[in-house]
Amino acid sequence: MLLPTGVRFENFATEGRYIHTWPQATWLAALLLALVLVPHAVSLYVTGVLTVMFITLMAVYGLQVTVGMAGQINVAQSAFMGVGAYAAARLSENVPFWLAIPAGGLAAALVSIVFALPAIRVKGFYLALTTLAAQVMFPIIVLALPSDWLGGTSGMAVEPIEIGGRMLSTPLDMYYFTLAGVLICSVGAFNLQRTRFGRALCAVRDNELAAEVTGVNVSYYKVMAFFAGSLFAGVAGGFFAYYIRYVTTENFNLLLSIWYLGMLIVGGLSSPLGAILGTAFITAIREAFHALGGALLTAFPNLGGGLVFATSNVILGICILLALIFEPRGLAHRWSVLKAAYRIWPFPHS
Amino acid sequence: MKLQRLVSGIASSLSAAALLTFAPASAMAADYVMSASADFTGPFADVAPSTVSGIRAVAAWWNDTKGKELGTNVDIKVHDMRYDASVVASTWPSILATDKPIMHLGFGTPDLITLMKRLPGDKVPMLMSTAMVGLVWKPNGWHFSFRPTYSHEFVGLLNHLQEKKGGKLTIGAISTQTAAGFVDQVKGVQKFAETNPDRFTVLDVQWVDASPVSVVNEVRTLVRQQPDVILVGGTTAQVVATGKALRELGANIPIIMSTHNGLTEVAKGIDLKEIEGSYSAFAFAPDNQEALPVRDLYTKYHTGAGNWGIAAAQSSYQALLALRVLEQAIAKGGKDAVTGQAMYDAMLGADYSEASLMGSLPDIKFDTTAPFPVGKLKVKAQVVRDGKIATLGNDWLPVPDLPKW
């Protein structure tokens, strides 16, 4: 991490802290305060959009672990999210949410191991295909299971969250609930890469042979990369289930998995900050296109909604392409460059 | 001029968005608000203008006639839900806070799965225009449709075809396993065949992609078993692919479809002559029925985008039933006592005759056992004759009893 001039550490514990300077702490506190206050300044709709964005971010954090840190392609994050959602929905009948959601995460993580095993032998496109199989199999298996297990074709209703005898049912309740969840996930995601486990994943990503030579059990860490990434996805699924309060297989499709991957690539694979920026950027763009599409339809009623829908998706794709062409390392890298430029201003070069 | 319209459109949209973003609520000019879901920028965006036009035209007619008589009027607030459950979940609280609707006019599965558990607590009933699915066939809900399940609608037509043919009617089916609703349609028909084994047999079900390029192999497997009809209740792409496969195989077997993938939609992808004799079944009067008063009032009151067709017809009938329910609620508790609860009570507490619904729907009666009409269900159908969409007679086709599956 690039630090301002003059910052030095007296001991390892100080260096090990995530926040090193007062300005960093102030900015973080300001961000947290803004996150707490923002639903009071915007409409309920925007509050809802932010809630969904937080849930999405949890899933993208997981993808950052599997794809960004360990270099293992995963196009089934939405399916793993679905596993977590179904598990949480099933458990919501009998156990409180604070058990159901982590249990959903664990269920998704355990299921992911089955599809992670091929990662020991294959990589790249071949690995993508095995995870694609997970995505395709997910709805088929859920629908084929006896309906009293996971609801079959009917799907499953989710009991609302109750804390101290109070139901969390308003948009504000759900916003703060998911905000708490995403903050916990953020702490996990940002610290994971600084742990022995995280460094092992990075070693596997950078050079498998070199990692093996230095004592990293490559097979084990490849599987664990899926385990950890799907844990985040499962937790996101649990939050999603409590938010929508009904789960069906349609909510967890391949398109969503692709979007999650797109968000991570646009944001930057190398750090959880990329997941945050990518998720926020794509969400903002989608909402903007939605508003623009509505305006176009108002102005040109004969344009046809189908054309607007298709065009907005194409333009969204072009945005991603442009982001990749002009900033292949993602928005997170652009953020680092901007930050560095700010620190050394008015000098033009670092 | 167009640029001016675009700029004013963007400005009005931005101001609406700003209002939605920064202003919590505004006073309503209308006495009552009914909110409605639409999909202007999602997968069903092509039909959204027509769908919304049907609701708006009927509401305009009601305000101009019955509304004036009662000294009240209804405002329809349309919301773009993008056919996405998470958008519905995000938008619904602001609808409740801003619109304070007495009823919500729903559209599609995302509305159903997201709202069905919330409506009883929010005390707002929802009336759908799309057919129900077995997955929501549960008692004591606040979600309703004037259409029964897709399976009921198919069974009504299958029953008619079997009576016409005599003997046993053999059915092949093509669907997709990745969508619960489409699997549910097939299961309902299978259940019906199981309970009437002397009249119906489901020979085989071929599971294909939601948007298949070709289903020749699957259709060949079905054709070998010589079905009388092939049921394709899933997507338009599946119907088009099935039609093309039948042509390639030289087989002449009628396809049975619903409305969302019906003949109007299919005609955009295949020459109807190639699926001569195929049917589209649904529990309302076809848009091309000879005498149809709702079409006349649509023609009179329709303004803006959208055209009369199956989508506009469907939503017109949805609005008509909703307004008849409102009339009942007013009659029961007075103009000032109309709430979501009053609408729910009126919906369950009265019978709505075919005459009061201008012949667009059969007699409708709801109770707490199901989210769709109970009693004697009836359907109508369209058929391809000489390459054109025609009605399958003017009479309603009765739907035999179909046990829950």
For the stretch A103-127, pLDDT in tens is 999 999 999 999 999 888 888 888 8
The residue ranking higher by pLDDT, B9 or B94, is B94
Same domain, B298 and B350: yes
Q: Which pLDDT value is given to residue A349? A: 60
Question: Using one digit for the tens of pLDDT, what is the confidence trace for B35-80?
Answer: 999 988 777 877 888 999 999 999 999 999 999 999 999 999 999 8
Mean pLDDT, residues A197-223 taken together: 94
Same domain, B339 and B248: no
Mean pLDDT, residues A97-101 taken together: 95
Same domain, B344 and B392: no
Mean pLDDT, residues A313-339 taken together: 85
> For residue B405, is it within any domain?
no
Which amino acid belongs to residue B397? L
Same domain, B144 and B155: no
Same domain, B138 and B215: no
Q: Which residues of A touch B97 (CB under 8 A)?
A: 44
Query: Which helix (H) or strand (E) is B145 found in, with range?
Result: strand B143-145
Which amino acid belongs to residue A297? L
What's chain B's average pLDDT?
89
Same domain, B155 and B119: no
Tell me the residues of chain B between 299 and 358 that have a Cβ less than 8 Å away from chain A: 304-305
DSSP sequence for B210-234: SS-S--HHHHHHHHHT--SEEE--S
The residue ranking higher by pLDDT, B328 or A297, is B328
Mean pLDDT, residues A130-148 taken together: 88
> For residue B403, is it within any domain?
no
Q: Please choose, from the candidates B211, B312, B232, B310, the residue with its C-alpha nearest in 3D space to the C-alpha of residue B265.
A: B310
Q: Which pLDDT value is given to residue A61? A: 97
Q: Which two tokens stand for residue A317?
A: 């794709």
Same domain, B293 and B311: yes
Same domain, B100 and B244: no
- Residue A290 pLDDT exceeds 50: yes
Phi/psi at A33 (5° precision) = -65, -40
Give the one of B17, B23, B118 whose C-beta lies nearest to A245's C-beta. B118
- Residue A298 pLDDT exceeds 90: no
- Chain A residue with CA closest to B13: the answer is A295
Residue A309 banded pLDDT, cuts 50, 70, 90: low
A246 to B109: CB separation less than 8 angstroms, yes or no: no
Mean pLDDT, residues A93-112 taken together: 95
Lowest mean pLDDT among A53-62, A307-316, B296-305: A307-316
Same domain, B35 and B81: yes
Residue B19 banded pLDDT, cuts 50, 70, 90: very low
Residue A5 banded pLDDT, cuts 50, 70, 90: confident
Number of structural domains chain B divides into: 2
- Residue B9 pLDDT exceeds 80: no
Lowest mean pLDDT among A162-166, A272-276, A346-350: A346-350
> For residue B201, is it within any domain?
yes
Using CA atoms, how far apart are residues B375 and B367, in angstroms rounded to an integer? 10
Q: Please choose, from the candidates A323, A339, A194, A322, the residue with its C-alpha nearest in 3D space to the C-alpha of residue A267.
A: A323
Mean pLDDT, residues B201-210 taken together: 94
Mean pLDDT, residues B232-254 taken together: 94
Same domain, B112 and B217: no
Environment class of A226 (CB within 10 Å of its CB; exposed 0-12, middle 13-18, buried 19+) = buried
Dihedral sign from CA coordinates of B326, B329, B330, B331 = positive
Tokens 């925007």, residue located: A46
Q: Which pLDDT value is given to residue B1? A: 41
Mean pLDDT, residues B335-357 taken together: 95
Peptide bond before A346: cis, by omega within 30 degrees of 0? yes
Tell me the residues of chain B between 120 and 149 that have a Cβ less than 8 Å away from chain A: 121, 133-136
Give the one of A45, A240, A289 whose C-beta lies nearest to B20's C-beta. A45
Mean pLDDT, residues B373-386 taken together: 95
User: What would you measure as the largest C-alpha separation in chain B, in angstroms?
Assistant: 66
- Residue B264 pLDDT exceeds 70: yes
Q: What is the ipTM of this complex?
A: 0.74
Q: Which pLDDT value is given to residue A151? A: 80
- Residue A305 pLDDT exceeds 70: no
Question: Using one digit for the tens of pLDDT, what is the confidence trace for A229-269?
Answer: 999 999 999 999 999 888 888 889 898 999 999 999 999 99
Q: Which pLDDT value is given to residue B165? A: 94
- Residue B385 pLDDT exceeds 70: yes
Phi/psi at A321 (5° precision) = -60, -45
Mean pLDDT, residues A128-154 taken together: 85
Same domain, B132 and B37: yes
Q: Which pLDDT value is given to residue B14? A: 41
The angle at the Cα of B183, spanning B179 to B189, to the nearest 5 degrees, equals: 155
Mean pLDDT, residues B160-184 taken together: 91
Q: Which pLDDT value is given to residue B265? A: 86
A300 to B5: CB separation less than 8 angstroms, yes or no: yes
Q: Could you list the residue range(s) of the whole structural domain that residue B190 is in?
A: 150-282+379-398
Q: Which residues of B touch A158 (CB under 8 A)?
A: 117
Q: Which residues of B touch A244 (CB under 8 A)?
A: 85-86, 89, 113-114
Q: Which residues of B touch A143 (CB under 8 A)?
A: 177, 180, 183
Structural domain boundaries of chain A? 22-253
Contact A68, A218 (CB under 8 A): no
Which amino acid belongs to residue B339? T
CATH for B38: 3.40.50.2300
Q: Which pLDDT value is given to residue A301? A: 63
Q: Which pLDDT value is given to residue A20? A: 83
Chain A interface mutation, best of B4, B56, B90, B189, highest count of A Cβ atoms under 10 Å: B90
Q: What is the DSSP letter of B392?
A: S
Give the one of A170, A291, A294 whose C-beta lies nearest to B93's C-beta. A170
Dihedral (Cα; A312, A315, A320, A323), 10-degree rounding: -140
Q: What is the pTM of this model?
A: 0.80
The CA-atom distances, in angstroms, between A273 and each of A4, A64, B104, B288 are 19, 10, 40, 57
B131 CA: distance to closest CA in chain A (Å): 15
Same domain, B121 and B197: no
